[in-house]
Amino acid sequence: MGGLNTRGAAPKQDRSRATRQRLLESAVTCLAEHGWTGSTVTVVAEHAGVSRGAAQHHFPTREDLFTAAVEYVAEERSKALRSPVGGDGEPAGTRSAVEMLVALYTGPLFRAALQLWVAASNEPQLEPRVTALEARIGRETHRMAVEVLGADESVPGVRETVQGLLDMARGLGLANLLTDDSARRERVVAQWELIVRDALAR
Amino acid sequence: MGGLNTRGAAPKQDRSRATRQRLLESAVTCLAEHGWTGSTVTVVAEHAGVSRGAAQHHFPTREDLFTAAVEYVAEERSKALRSPVGGDGEPAGTRSAVEMLVALYTGPLFRAALQLWVAASNEPQLEPRVTALEARIGRETHRMAVEVLGADESVPGVRETVQGLLDMARGLGLANLLTDDSARRERVVAQWELIVRDALAR
């Protein structure tokens, strides 16, 4: 009976989706912790508690797994950020907006993405996929930044002000790679919140 | 005779210094082009036209070679930047100062340093040396930035303005890793020159 088949298929699909999700999250964790060289499909499958065969069923190649993983986590992050801001449609204050944008570049997703970007710069089979992924994540991050800042991009210079702020956030993320840079970062962010507020008000 | 010995020793020292310098420059080139994994001492020695034994005489370990290489090139860069600015003791205009600082992060040295920083985040034997190196280069770059901008750090907030600008330059360098970002970068830099000039004038 159709009804029984559907009930039978649904838990299987759920399990498959849960396995896929565990693999994606483990891939980001491994990439952030061990870098590209240390993050093989076997390492990720073990971390996710999944067989290597099951991992390869979901992601035929290592490149498939890691580009999907960074994209998945970026989308989750983007959904999470959209909910409090998009809820009432109001932009956050400049202060919390700048803090929120900088926070995007100091967590495990940025560490993982950084490992993937740098590996792609030396691996021809990874490079085109990561370049396309970087462009997609970049566009989405810019869209979010405009929204949380309440920036009006029809005003000349505003688009570049927002872009430069995101470049700064990326640079702050890189400065946090080897040492805990949070004390310095806090002072820089406090000063640049004032500067960005003035620049956007002109 | 002492005189003869000295004359005999000098060219040998010169040759040794030239070999060392070739190794350092080759190490930065290899790191920028092939990344940490692809940059072994053998690869660098071949690129420099030096035997592996000679390379190991100068740099006993791979870590010695690469940290010395990034430091050497950073010092050379710093000397080159100091000469036109330090010549008349005058700060550059904000426009050329910001362009000059951003240029520091878009050349082969930044690409090489980025590969080393990211490798260090996953390699415990590299990490403390690269952390110390990053701190030295960071201090020197900040000092240069204050000089070319003619910034007065006794004014509250100015130190953080300069730091944020260097963070932005670092982020622009990272955005240039996989694709030629120069057209976008030029527009961002033009806008941020205005913002920084205003911020420093307050």
**A62-116 pLDDT, tens digit each:** 999 999 999 999 998 888 777 654 445 566 787 789 999 999 999 889 999 999 9
Q: With left for phi above 0 and alpha for psi between -120 and 50, is residue A150 left, alpha or beta?
A: left
Handedness of CA B91, B96, B97, B100 (dihedral sign): negative
- pLDDT less than 70: residues of chain A: 1-9, 83-91
Burial zone of B9 (CB within 10 Å; 0-12 exposed, 13-18 middle, 19+ buried)? exposed
Other beta carbons within 10 Å of A91: 15
| Rounded distance between C-alpha atoms, residue B90 and residue A153, angstroms | 37
- What pLDDT does residue B87 have? 45
User: B190 at the A interface (CB within 8 A)?
Assistant: yes
Taking each helix axis as running N to C, give the angle between helix B62-88 and helix B127-149, from 0 to 180 degrees, rounded to the nearest 10.
Answer: 10
pLDDT (0 to 100) of residue B93? 80
Residue of B174, B188, B194 with shortest CB distance to A174? B174
What does the H/E/C string look like for A32-60?
A: HHHCCCCCCHHHHHHHHCCCHHHHHHHCC
pLDDT along chain B (202 residues), means of 10: 54 90 96 93 97 96 95 87 56 83 92 94 92 94 94 96 97 95 96 93 82
CB contact under 8 A, B174 and A117: yes
pLDDT at A158: 96
Give the number of other CB atoms < 10 A from CB of residue B58. 19
Answer whether A195's CB lies under 8 Å from A189's CB.
no
Query: How close A13 gets to chain B, by Cα (Å)?
Result: 36
Assign B163 to helix, strand or coil. helix
**A110 vs B174: CA distance, rounded Å:** 12
Residue B172: closest C-alpha in chain A: A167
* CATH class of the structural domain A2-201: mainly alpha
**CB burial class (10 A; 0-12, 13-18, 19+) of residue B182?**
exposed
Token pair of B60 as six digits:
């006993």
B129 at interface of A, judged by CB pairs closer than 8 A: no
DSSP B30-60: HHHHHTTTT--HHHHHHHHT--HHHHHHH-S
Task: Give pLDDT, residue B88.
Answer: 52
| Interface contact flag, B111 A131, Cβ < 8 Å | no
pLDDT at A86: 43
Tell me whether residues A188 and B35 touch, CB distance under 8 A. no
Task: List C-alpha distances in Å: B201 to B101, B151, B194, B198.
Answer: 19, 9, 11, 5
Q: Could you write out the DSSP letters of every residue in B98-127?
A: HHHHHHHTSSHHHHHHHHHHHHHTT-TTTH
